[in-house]
Structures are given as structure tokens and as C-alpha cells.
Amino acid sequence: MFLDYFRVTGTAMAQIFFLGGLGYLFVRRGALSHAGLEALSRLVIQIIFPALIFTQLLKNFSFALYPNWWMFPLISLAITAFGLLVGWALIKAGGLKKHRLQFLSLVGFQNSGYLPLALAASVFSGKDSGSMFIFIILFLLGFDLVAWSCGIYMLTYEKEARFRMRSVFSPPVIANLSTLALVFFGLDKFIPQAVAKPIEMVGNCTLPLAMFVVGGNVALVQLKKIDKLPVFLIILGKMLILPAAGIVFALKLGLPELLGVFVVMQLAMPSATSLSVIIRHYKREDALISQGIFFSHVVGLLTIPLFLSLYLYAAMLK
């Protein structure tokens, strides 16, 4: 049974790797320029992904169906805090002296949106797929709040890089909050199909284009001399300790299987590619960020299906 779970999740990761690999090759070979990748990234973030959020919330979300919707932003904050705590413990245990904030960022912030959405679409179907999409979208409300405030500060080391509301209220967050408001006030019923259907068509482009962007961003990382100890500790904390703790946590609390899979999946994700975007935007030294992103994504090809399969198998036995 474990091998069956691993085959399903491994196949899903292979499909995602194929899409990301295309983006990686296009950028590496110059078929997609850096400017083109940035334009595609802006298109996904500002238009296509918000369209997916709008469509999924309208189709699958209601406050009656998800009365505990508010838990997911809190879960995201708890997962980030736990990741930062594990990162801090590894800094102490490994005696790291340099680039501590970059190390903490790599352990604390994960690829929490595009990769989980693609994985959910590949592994689940029907109602479970819709529910997982809702979990991820609601989760991002809390994650974006921390990643685009605390994350920027940690990577820029400057007092002026403080919390900015405009950075938090990105197009996906605005789409999330505005669609929740439409559903809350019952205004979603008045949206004509002539408007909703084209938006849905645009949103359906999110997953393949998002994986192109992720693969392209990985292709931009500059791997110079590998700093072996920090990279090893990033892999140990991000890709092994966090998902293993997630399995124990989900089983001990007896979480419903779908929610348990969601928690383990988020804890198993590699480091956020957006960290590289922040570093490039603020023109800071890329001491560890590229290395952490690259190696965590490569290792994740094995560890993500492994830990998801372990949890599903353990949940079945329980």
C-alpha cells in the first residue's frame, strides 16, 4: 500500500518536474529571456493566479461549508514560526556564524502556493481537489502577510525595509479578500456567466505557467562555491525534520486525512523561490539563497512523495 501511495505522489511530482524543467531549459538556453520571465511572472501573479483564486472560491467555498476557514491563515503562521524555530536550533547546533538570516529564511519560508496547487491538482480529484485548493488559497492569506513583511526585512537587513501594507496586499491577496467578501454578502450569485467563464478560463492557465515560472527562477540561481554545511543543514531542517514533525503532529492530533495531508505537504515543500526574487530586487548578496532554493527543490523530488506516502500509509493503519 505504501508503494501505491508513493507511485501516485511520485508520478505527480514527475509531472510537476516536467513542467518546471521546461521553464528551466527555456531560460537556460535563452529561449525565454530574463525580461520575458519577469513579464510572465508578473502576468501570473497579477492576473492569472488571482483569476484562479476568484474561480475556486466562487465554485467551492462557502462559509457554511468551511466554518473554520480562519484556521488556515493561523496554520500558515504556525508553520512559518515552527520553521524559523527549527532553523534557529540548527544554527545553534551547527555553529553557523555567517548569513544566519538567509539561512533562517530558507528554512522558514516554503514554496507554499504554486507547487502545492500543482501537486493537489495531480494527486486529488473531484471534491477533494476543490477542498485542497481552498485550503491552499486560505493558507496564503497568512503566509503572504509574513513572507512579504518579515521575509523582506530578514533578507535586506535594513530598517527602511520595514512592514509595508502595499507589499502584503498583492493581487492574489486582494482577489482572496474581495471574493470572500462577495461570498459573505451573497453577491457572488449576481456575477453573470459571461464574466465568470472567461475569468475561469484565464485561471485554468495558472498551474502550467506557474511551474514554468518556478523552473525559470531556479534556472536563474547562481551556484558558485557550494557552502556545504549550511546547505546540508537546510536540507536536514527543511526537507526532513519539518515534514517528519508534520507527520507526528497530524497523527497525534488525529487530523482528518485531507487536512493532515495538507499540513504535511506544506511542511514538506522546498524553500520559496520568491526569496531569490527579493534578493535580486533589493540587490543584496546572494550568499545562501540560490543554493538553498536549488538543492531543496532537487531533494524535494524524492522527499515530498516519500513523506506524503508515509503519512497516508500511517493514517490508513491508524
Q: Tens digit of pLDDT for each residue in 116-170?
A: 999 998 889 888 999 999 999 999 988 988 887 777 778 776 544 454 555 667 7
Decide if pLDDT at 97 tops 90: no
Q: Which domains does the chain have, with CATH numbers?
A: 2-219+226-317 (1.20.1530)
| Amino acid, single-letter form, for residue 250 | A
- Residue 215: CB atoms within 10 Å: 26
Among 211, 244, 4, which residue's Cα sits nearest to residue 116?
211
What is the model's pLDDT at position 4? 86
Least confident of 5-9, 169-173, 242-246: 169-173
- Give the residue with greater pLDDT, 156 vs 269: 269
Q: Is 263:249 a contact under the CB 8 Å cutoff? A: yes
| Rg value, the chain, Cα | 19
Mean pLDDT value of segment 96-115:
91
Q: Is 51:200 a contact under the CB 8 Å cutoff? A: yes
Mean pLDDT, the chain, whole residue set: 89
Coil/strand/helix, residue 110 = strand
At 55, the pLDDT band (50, 70, 90 cuts) reads very high
Give me the half-sphere count of Cα atoms (radius 13 Å) on the Cβ side of residue 208. Answer: 4
Q: What is the DSSP letter of 46?
A: I
At 274, the pLDDT band (50, 70, 90 cuts) reads confident
Percent share of the chain, pLDDT over 70: 95
Provide the grid cell at 186.
Answer: 451573497
pLDDT in tens, 110-120: 999 889 999 99
